[in-house]
Amino acid sequence: MLARNIAKARSLRPVGSVRFNSTDQPLYLNPHKWEGLPADRIFELHELRKTALGDKYVPNDAERNAILSTFESLRAPKPTLAYGYEIDNFKERMMNNTPSKLKGLPPKLSNIRVFDRGATPHEERKIEQMHRISAYEMPLLAKFRQEYKPASDKEAPLRLTFNTDFSEKHNSDNRKVTLEVKLKDLDLNDKQAVKFKLLSGNKFNHNTNTLKFSTDRFSESTQNARWLVETFNKLLTESKDLTKNTFDGVPVDKRHTKPGKQQPRFPDDWKRPQDAPVERHRIVRRLTEAVKDLKDKEYISNLSP
């Protein structure tokens, strides 16, 4: 009996060497169970483990492997291939595992040489289609040709001037717009013209009888142009309305207008028409232009239905 008790005592482990099951510990103390969890959860457990252990924190391989497993989920997704041309040679031309020296070389068991530079076939087809249109369809538009007749000053009296400075993008002059209009194009009578001059103030030039003012108060030139047109319409409407006030006793102030420079006038005796250059008879050029016009008419007549 004594020998049996001694054997049992030797087989018993000391209390300090007892191992606890990992299921009894919280999850943040078991990094070997982190792998496979979402990336946010893994980093949250990592911070909890560092906070709980404090100075005794030592990273282990299980924790490193769990963090490394999140790289694939955090990586930006690669764009899918929307259109692959020449699918037979896709592997040799586009695959990342192909060495750079071998890219563009003809694939194995193929006599077709594949180049990795130059225009693609579908771009070449677009250019060819544009050439066909310019050669066979554009000449047919000649029958719709009309003479350009610009609008008269009475129909479109306003003249807007825009400024564009390509050297500096944020230049304030790029949004500046100037409006200019002549008094004779507004069809105003004498009283309306006087009222228009008084309301215009120093924006009216009495030498040329034109109204000119500009603005750059808005960030876009189109907004400034719209403001100028609206302001001019208000001014014109107020000038035509003689029921409120005609300003009969108010003189027109012309002090802001500087006197214009007089053009020099030379006496008629100085004119010498005999010294003018003689116009040459360009017979060859005229014949060439006539032949070109004739050829163009014949070519267009054959294409026109």
Domains and CATH numbers, the chain: 27-74 (no CATH), 158-240 (3.30.160.20)
Question: Token digits for 44?
Answer: 């949250």
C-alpha 241/C-alpha 167 separation (Å) is 46
What's the pTM value of the predicted model, to 2 decimals?
A: 0.44
pLDDT average, residue stretch 43-50: 88
pLDDT in tens, 260-294: 788 888 888 888 888 877 777 778 888 889 999 99
- Top pLDDT among 81 and 32 is at 32
pLDDT beyond 80 at 100: no
C-alpha 46/C-alpha 65 separation (Å) is 12
pLDDT in tens, 237-250: 999 998 888 888 88
The pLDDT of residue 197: 93
The pLDDT of residue 214: 94
pLDDT in tens, 146-204: 888 888 888 899 999 998 888 777 788 889 999 999 999 998 999 999 999 999 999 99
pLDDT band at 223 (very low <50, low <70, confident <90, very high): very high
The pLDDT of residue 98: 61
C-alpha 204/C-alpha 257 separation (Å) is 8
Q: Select from 221, 211, 227 the least CA-distant residue to 158.
A: 211
- Top pLDDT among 259 and 200 is at 200
pLDDT in tens, 108-121: 554 445 555 555 67
C-alpha 151/C-alpha 155 separation (Å) is 6
pLDDT band at 15 (very low <50, low <70, confident <90, very high): very low
- Top pLDDT among 94 and 208 is at 208
